[in-house]
């Protein structure tokens, strides 16, 4: 599963051109004029930019309609409309989690992602269908991408009896992260919901990544309850809040919360949503908070957008946060690469000697240009092996 390769004439983060020797899946030397050891293939970098693999830190691999006939969306406006519509139509629409997660994983890989954190629905209608499907993809596509599973109670946890037991089974089956969802707005029992998901974390020694769409004061209240439990249970550095729209509220309310997020090393995931209040990325990073990003759902019953391109996501994060300067665009890229890796605690991530050779080679004069251009002419390496080239993966979608 690992490979050796001499990568000639690439520019790490658009800096000066170097050669990179990759041996057994790791970068062993970076410098000028490196000779290829006998039998090692040479890949011509053509002076292009090299960055570490993009990190898709918030996907829903089990539910994309990718590759299925077009789904005409006529769903109502509320969050619960979308939740109920999806749960009720998943089987009818033939959204098989194994097939669909494989399709999306290939798509992610060929756009340059080398790591995915996927929330996976756990509910009383479908049980562990989603978890089993995405686990099959996790095993079957290890050569091109690493996938981490979050057991995710999409339809609510306490409001649908039996879900908590299924969540427990999902963790037992090998999910790496405990998920949660809007303790006030959906489950209508913030104490009950949070006590339950934190108890799962404790039982399995796993981190938490909780969806929090709740806006304004309600979301900040839930955040406060999350902070309280993170501190009390010694889970510093082990909690991620996804979406966190409430951090887009009045800075007078939000700034004290950011201090606590930093203190307890609670990470934030933002998609850079254009139509919702959003976490202030620059301010969070400046405060030392880890900030990652993800595609969220792509082309599913929730909405038609998305292509799993984390460079496009860097653009969305940039547009949402009014990042215009080149140094700001670099922050947007960090959110979609190194920050995501920190949130997922990926070992050996980066473009340096000793790092895993999970890399993207792409055209552009600068990092900012690479983001705004989003060339499809990308080469993607996973553990030193070229797994995608110009939009074509070494794997064929089912």
Contact residues for a copy of itself (CB under 8 A)? 69-70, 72-75, 272-276, 299, 302-307, 315-316, 318-322, 324-327, 329, 365-366, 368-369, 371-373
CB of residue 323 to a copy of itself, shortest distance in Å: 9
The CB density around residue 225, as the number of other CB atoms within 10 Å, is 18
Q: What is the DSSP string of 345-357?
A: T-TT-SSSTTSB-
Burial of 200 (0-12, 13-18, 19+ CB in 10 A): buried
Phi, psi at residue 61, to the nearest 5°? -60, -25
Does residue 119 sit in helix, strand or coil? strand
Residue 165 or 365: which CB sits closer to a copy of itself?
A: 365
Residue 273 or 348: which CB sits closer to a copy of itself?
A: 273
Does residue 270 sit in helix, strand or coil? coil
Distances (CA, A) of 6 to 25, 31, 37, 59, 338: 11, 11, 8, 32, 23
CB of residue 372 to a copy of itself, shortest distance in Å: 5
Residue 228 or 326: which CB sits closer to a copy of itself?
A: 326
Phi, psi at residue 269, to the nearest 5°? -110, 125
CB of residue 275 to a copy of itself, shortest distance in Å: 4
87 sits in which H/E element:
helix 79-89
Residue 203 or 324: which CB sits closer to a copy of itself?
A: 324
Q: Is 253 within 8 Å of 243 (Cβ atoms)? A: no
Residue 342 or 374: which CB sits closer to a copy of itself?
A: 374
Find residue 6's DSSP bridge partners. Answer: 21, 42
Residue 88 or 353: which CB sits closer to a copy of itself?
A: 88
Q: Per the structure block, which two tokens stand in for 158? A: 């306490």
CB of residue 216 to a copy of itself, shortest distance in Å: 15
Q: Among residues 66, 143, 59, which one has the least CA distance to residue 397?
A: 66
Q: Is 169 within 8 Å of 199 (Cβ atoms)? A: no
Give CA–CA dist 33/18, Å, rounded.
Answer: 8
Q: Among residues 153, 138, 149, 148, which one has the least CA distance to residue 183?
A: 153
CA R_g for the chain: 21
CB of residue 350 to a copy of itself, shortest distance in Å: 24
Residue 125 or 365: which CB sits closer to a copy of itself?
A: 365
Residue 141 or 316: which CB sits closer to a copy of itself?
A: 316
CB of residue 321 to a copy of itself, shortest distance in Å: 6
CB of residue 236 to a copy of itself, shortest distance in Å: 32
CB of residue 139 to a copy of itself, shortest distance in Å: 30
Q: What is the DSSP string of 190-220?
A: HHHHHHHHHHHHHHHT--EEEEE---HHHHH
CB of residue 107 to a copy of itself, shortest distance in Å: 12
Q: Per the structure block, which two tokens stand in for 159? A: 């409001």
Residue 251 or 354: which CB sits closer to a copy of itself?
A: 251
């Amino acid at each position: 599963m690992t490979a050796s390769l001499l990568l000639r004439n690439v520019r790490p983060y658009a800096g000066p051109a170097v050669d990179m020797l990759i041996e057994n899946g790791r970068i062993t030397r970076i410098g000028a004029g490196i000779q290829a050891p006998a039998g090692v293939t040479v890949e011509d970098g053509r002076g292009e930019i090299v960055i570490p693999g993009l990190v898709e830190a918030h996907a829903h691999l089990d539910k994309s309609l990718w590759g299925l006939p077009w789904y005409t969306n006529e769903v109502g406006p509320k969050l619960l409309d979308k939740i109920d519509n999806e749960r009720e139509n998943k089987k009818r629409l033939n959204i098989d989690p194994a097939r669909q997660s494989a399709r999306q994983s290939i798509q992610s890989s060929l756009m340059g992602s080398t790591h995915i954190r996927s929330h996976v629905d756990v509910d009383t209608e479908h049980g562990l269908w989603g978890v089993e499907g995405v686990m099959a993809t996790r095993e079957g596509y290890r050569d091109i991408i690493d996938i981490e599973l979050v057991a995710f109670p999409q339809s609510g946890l306490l409001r649908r009896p039996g879900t908590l037991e299924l969540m427990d089974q999902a963790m037992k089956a090998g999910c790496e992260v405990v998920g949660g969802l809007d303790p006030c707005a959906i489950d209508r029992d913030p104490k009950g919901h949070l006590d339950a998901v934190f108890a799962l974390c404790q039982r399995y020694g796993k981190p938490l990544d909780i969806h929090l769409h709740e806006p304004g004061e309600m979301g900040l209240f839930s955040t406060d309850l999350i902070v309280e439990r993170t501190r009390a249970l010694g889970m510093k550095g082990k909690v991620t809040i996804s979406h966190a729209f409430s951090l887009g509220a009045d800075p007078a309310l939000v700034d004290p919360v950011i201090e606590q997020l930093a203190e307890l090393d609670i990470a934030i995931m933002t998609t850079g949503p254009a139509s919702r209040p959003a976490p202030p990325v620059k301010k969070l990073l400046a405060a030392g908070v880890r900030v990652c990003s993800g595609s969220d759902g792509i082309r599913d019953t929730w909405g038609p957008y998305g292509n799993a391109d984390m460079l496009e996501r860097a653009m969305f994060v940039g547009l949402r946060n009014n990042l215009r300067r080149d140094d700001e665009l670099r922050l947007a890229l960090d959110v979609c690469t190194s920050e995501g890796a920190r949130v997922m605690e990926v070992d050996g991530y980066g473009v340096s000697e000793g790092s895993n050779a999970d890399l993207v080679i792409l055209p552009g004069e600068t990092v900012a240009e690479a983001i705004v251009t989003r060339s499809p002419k990308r080469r993607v390496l996973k553990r030193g092996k070229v797994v995608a080239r110009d939009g074509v993966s070494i794997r064929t979608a089912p």
